[in-house]
């Protein structure tokens, strides 16, 4: 039953976001830009997940953060492999500092429910951006990027669905 709900939610996301994505794909994203954006996003997700494990007091947020930490590390490894194949240098995970974390929407000084709300809201925004990036990657002229994006899109959609389930400020 959970699988069917997740599948339906992902289908809804495809229907809602597909028109906007096709408009965005008119500007071709080059291989280097795709890898850099995806790597930076993945590193940010890893760092914010680690922060959530320390700062959150919510079991759902912590479970999401643990899952993202595990999945995003695997994704980062895949991106590093893609960078090797395409001979593109990628940033290492030490490149994001506190200022960039804050720019990523997770203020390290927040605590409790305020942290949970900021984390949940920003993760949802970032997951939407990543889904759009993977869709754009599927239209790339680079076969390696197309292949990567095709394999990564289902995972990104599932992560978007999970981010939609996080507790967020309803006001």
Residue 160 has phi, psi (to 5 degrees) of -65, -45
Q: Where are the domains of the chain?
A: 30-165
Read off the tokens for 87: 């001979």
Q: Which of 128, 27, 33 is CA-nearest to residue 79? A: 33
Class of domain 30-165: mainly alpha
- For residue 106, the model assigns a pLDDT of 65
pLDDT along the chain (171 residues), means of 10: 47 42 54 90 88 90 94 91 87 55 64 87 91 94 93 94 82 45
Burial of 21 from C-beta contacts in 10 A (0-12 / 13-18 / 19+): middle
pTM of the model: 0.74
Cβ neighbors of 131 (< 8 A, separation 6 or more) are 13, 17, 153, 156, 157, 160
């Amino acid at each position: 039953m959970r699988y069917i709900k997740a599948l339906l939610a992902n289908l809804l996301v495809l229907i809602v976001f597909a028109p906007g994505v096709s408009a965005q794909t008119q500007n071709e994203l080059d291989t280097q830009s795709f890898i850099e954006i995806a790597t930076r996003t993945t590193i940010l997700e890893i760092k914010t997940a680690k922060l959530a494990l320390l700062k959150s007091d919510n079991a759902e947020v912590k479970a999401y953060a643990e899952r993202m930490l595990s999945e995003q590390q695997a994704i980062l490894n895949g991106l590093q492999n893609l960078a090797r194949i395409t001979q593109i240098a990628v940033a290492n995970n030490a490149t994001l500092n506190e200022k960039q974390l804050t720019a990523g929407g997770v203020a390290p000084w927040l605590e409790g429910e305020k942290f949970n709300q900021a984390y949940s809201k920003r993760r949802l925004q970032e997951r939407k951006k990543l889904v759009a990036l993977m869709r754009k990657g599927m239209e790339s002229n680079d076969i390696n990027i197309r292949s990567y994006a095709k394999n990564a899109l289902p995972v990104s959609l599932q992560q978007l669905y999970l981010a939609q389930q996080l507790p967020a400020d309803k006001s």
